[in-house]
Amino acid sequence: MVEPIKIGMFVPFTGPPALRINGHQIYAGTAAWLTLFNEAGGHHGRPIELLVEDSGYDIAKTAAAIRKLAEEDGVVAFLNANGTPQITAAMPYIQSRKLPLLLPFAGAEAWFHPPKWGVFGVQAPFNDVGYLLGGWAAREGHRRVTVFHPDYPEISLLMARQARRGFNAAKQHDDARIDAVCVQLGCEDGAAMADAILRQEPDAVIVLVNWLELIAATREMQSRGKTTQLYSWSANVTQQIASISGTLLEGMKGYASLLVGPAAKTASAEEYRSAMARYFPDQPPDFISMAAFAHAVVFTSALNRIVGEVDAHKLVKAFQSLDKLETGLLPPVTFTPMQHIGVREVQAMQLTDGVWRALRPATLPSKMAETGKIVGSI
């Protein structure tokens, strides 16, 4: 019997509702591509075995999941893991075990500058996205902007600060201002959230909360006859949100890591939809599972560069050799020993008639947003 290549994944199947839905989508997209890969022969006849643990979006539960995968299951790497605060807490252990952390649905600037051994990502750092969102709202001429963000995780607080920096660096009017409303993660008190936002009389809101808070607050504001332009991050650029919200979020703008949406009429998008329909018919095509599918394509592209036995060090070298890899779903992916974020763009999208449509790409800032001097474009 051929020994499989064991790859580990930890995602939330339990925990906050918005996040555990993401966990199921990440797993489905990853497993869909890996199943296709195995059916085509795997890695020189060796299949990939995907071993998955529930992280619960909880630091202690994530730590236990990681230890099980590393010590009991003997995985050679982690793929498509989720949870920035949980992974940050576990990073010393992951690094001590010399286990690559490949293409996580998470990201902190400190993971990549300077690059940590074995950590490779294609998700834009959240602080960069916050900065770009602030600049986007400013360049479109808004004068009174509110950043609507949760109190946890800490990266959300950083994104909010960077959104303010990006706005102030790009504002078009001397009297333009940006303020913030911070709410408890998972808050569903739409009236209280709407009160706090409307008190600032914004003409645009930068949304860094998840869909539960977003929908509750927006529904309450619209019931009072108040509408405003919304800008958001990739967690809210999903077809699920479009389906749940109806026309509530029509016109919302946001950044996605993908070049195209799940309904795109391209060969790569069709391959994704076909795989999902075959292996996970209960999961409608969506951005998160599509991104997981694309990440898995990047992983197997690197894996195929390895000759002979697969180990952590060979995987790292294989990732570092990827140069302008085209998946048809992500921007071109390039890694080097000193560049562990593989893409330099995010895609601006807008929700129109219930479908997310691509606008134009945005270049990620070239320097740390802490300086307040970085430049991003849409």
pTM listed for this prediction: 0.87
* Residue of higher predicted confidence among 367 and 294: 294
The first and second tokens of residue 252, run together, are: 């919302």
Q: Running DSSP on this structure, what letter comes out for residue 173?
A: S
Model confidence pLDDT, tens digit, residues 36-91? 999 999 999 999 999 999 999 999 999 999 999 999 999 999 999 999 999 999 99
Q: Is the pLDDT of residue 324 over 80?
A: yes
Quick one: pLDDT at residue 153? Answer: 86
| Rounded Cα gap, residues 359 and 322, in angstroms | 27
Over residues 23-43, mean pLDDT? 97
In which band, very low, low, confident or very high, does the pLDDT at 366 lie, cut at 50, 70 and 90? Answer: low
- Mean residue pLDDT across the chain: 93
Tokens of 249: 């979020």
Average pLDDT over residues 85-113: 93
In the chain, the domains with their CATH numbers are 5-123+261-343 (3.40.50.2300), 127-256+346-371 (3.40.50.2300)
pLDDT value, residue 137:
98
CA dihedral 41, 101, 76, 280 (to 10 degrees): -40
Give the residue-averaged pLDDT of 166-177.
Answer: 96
pLDDT per position as a tens digit, 274-288: 999 999 999 999 999
What count of residues does the chain have? Answer: 378
pLDDT above 90 (res 108): no
pLDDT tens-digit readout, 12-22: 999 887 788 88
Percent of the chain at pLDDT > 70 equals 96
Tell me the pLDDT tens digit for each residue of 182-240: 999 989 999 999 999 999 999 999 999 999 999 999 999 999 999 999 999 988 999 98
What is the rounded average pLDDT of the residues 251-280? Answer: 95
Show the CA angle centred on residue 9, arms to residues 8 and 13, nearest 5°: 145
Q: What is the CA radius of gyration of the chain?
A: 20
Structure confidence at residue 370 (pLDDT): 37
Q: Which of 252, 251, 258 is nearest to 272 (CA)?
A: 258
Supply the pLDDT for residue 248.
Answer: 96
pLDDT at 364: 86
